[in-house]
Chain A
């Protein structure tokens, strides 16, 4: 499925803002993303499996707060980062 990548993470995707990855849920999708783009997952998800503050994952424009969120191949996943601070 298509996954939108925010600019702070595009150093992992060779600058691409949209990539392909597979998974039956977000956990699997993020694992697949990390296989394709090593290191990208830990910048978004901490060691306690929590989505890091200011990182947002949307599935079909609806925010997913739980990594067990189920996915189908037709879903569109967008990872966004709320930028704040100076």
Chain B
């Protein structure tokens, strides 16, 4: 099917307004509001105290609608929606749910909604959700009602692509990193832990694996077509043919129309390695990206390597990396950062933010050179999205 190309609506401009951080945690959601200079921060919340909040995302098309993916320990999953930047909330009338299985078959049920992505700029009201176990859901009414993307959820290869329950992350296999090509609403990418990176060029009607070049050290076939474990996949909004991913087995870059990932993490210091969860891109420079490495050796401690947390940044698309730890703890700091818990604003210089498994939020307003702790004693942080506050 021919790809319908639409122009990118507007280039990403340099922001100069106040920044807010939308924060999801294991015990609820918080809002951190900064001043325009990004010097002082005020915390609001908790919202939905006691709910497990995996993702809180602002709609960039209206800058006031927020969707929040929630469940409590034992209640079923749902999505809450605010049309007024978090002042009031309403629950989705029809949350993401798999199709009812035929009588006698053991059907899937959504355990939690893990990822939220606003749809293309030309499709106001469209959102995508990624779930555990792996599923894609689409809303066309701003998150009120959700339908499964059958092209993936009912795909005859889905079970083989995703593997069994034991192949997923400890709290369930996940579908994440739903990426919409800003030139083409029908061109989508997804990441799955496990499963790998997949691409659709027909709005989700069909999918194909896109994992060539990626290691899968945990599988017997090193050249397997799928079954990989991307932790976080990013597409550059100004150069949508450039993809980056922080994978379970390294850091990679892919320049389309090529289909083979290049391991750019091999240039990271050997003592640190190139394992981690999040990856964040500079909003205006496709050669600039940041990661937060974690210890992926032996039994996979999943902590800052050596107890010395650091962000690493590249300014040349992964040819070299610089350690960025000014102001971060110099030792005995064993937190890590989950895949949605690192984000960048659109100021110049860019502000970078990360939330830790130990409940701290760290901010840098100079692209990682100096860091300051702007919140502590919060619950285990799952996600952070930096947004510009509505004026």
Judged by a CB distance under 8 angstroms, whether B100 is at the interface is yes
Contact, CB under 8 Å: B73 / A47: no
Complex: how many Å from CA A51 to CA B76? 10
B72 to chain A, nearest CB (A): 6
User: Using Cβ atoms and an 8 Å threshold, which residues of chain A touch B150?
Assistant: none
Judged by a CB distance under 8 angstroms, whether B98 is at the interface is yes
Given A39-B91, A42-B95: A50 and B78 within 8 A (CB)? Answer: no
User: Using Cβ atoms and an 8 Å threshold, which residues of chain B touch A46?
Assistant: 76, 97, 109-110
A35 to chain B, nearest CB (A): 13
Judged by a CB distance under 8 angstroms, whether B11 is at the interface is no
Given A39-B91, A42-B97: A47 and B74 within 8 A (CB)? Answer: no
Chain A: interface secondary structure? loop
Contact, CB under 8 Å: A47 / B91: no
B196 to chain A, nearest CB (A): 26
Given A47-B100, A83-B73, A84-B73: A42 and B78 within 8 A (CB)? Answer: yes
Judged by a CB distance under 8 angstroms, whether A54 is at the interface is yes
A59 to chain B, nearest CB (A): 20
Complex: how many Å from CA A64 to CA B89? 34
Given A38-B93, A48-B101, A49-B100: A43 and B107 within 8 A (CB)? Answer: no
Binary interface encoding of chain A residues 23-63 relative to chain B, with 1 for a CB under 8 A from any of its CBs, else 0 = 00000000000000011001111111110111100000000
Contact, CB under 8 Å: A52 / B74: yes
A-B interface contact total, Cβ < 8 Å: 56
B81 to chain A, nearest CB (A): 12
Complex: how many Å from CA A52 to CA B101? 16
Max chain B Cβ within 10 angstroms of own Cβ: one of A38, A43, A45, A85? A43
Judged by a CB distance under 8 angstroms, whether A77 is at the interface is no
Contact, CB under 8 Å: A47 / B72: no
Contact, CB under 8 Å: B109 / A83: no
Judged by a CB distance under 8 angstroms, whether A8 is at the interface is yes
Identify the closest chain B residue to A42 (Cβ).
B76
Given A42-B95, A42-B97, A50-B109: A85 and B73 within 8 A (CB)? Answer: yes
Identify the closest chain B residue to A9 (Cβ).
B75
B147 to chain A, nearest CB (A): 12
Contact, CB under 8 Å: A44 / B75: yes
What residues of chain B have their CB less than 8 Å away from a CB belonging to chain A?
A: 72-76, 78, 91-93, 95, 97-101, 106-110
**27 A–B contacts, CB within 8 A, in A order:** A8-B72, A9-B75, A39-B92, A39-B95, A42-B78, A43-B75, A43-B76, A44-B76, A45-B76, A46-B109, A46-B110, A47-B97, A47-B107, A47-B110, A48-B98, A48-B101, A48-B106, A48-B107, A48-B109, A50-B109, A52-B75, A53-B74, A54-B74, A81-B75, A82-B74, A83-B74, A84-B74
What residues of chain A have their CB less than 8 Å away from a CB belonging to chain B?
A: 8-9, 38-39, 42-50, 52-55, 81-85
Please list the 3 inter-chain residue pairs (A to B) with the smallest Cβ-Cβ separation, ordered nearest first. A46-B109, A47-B97, A54-B74
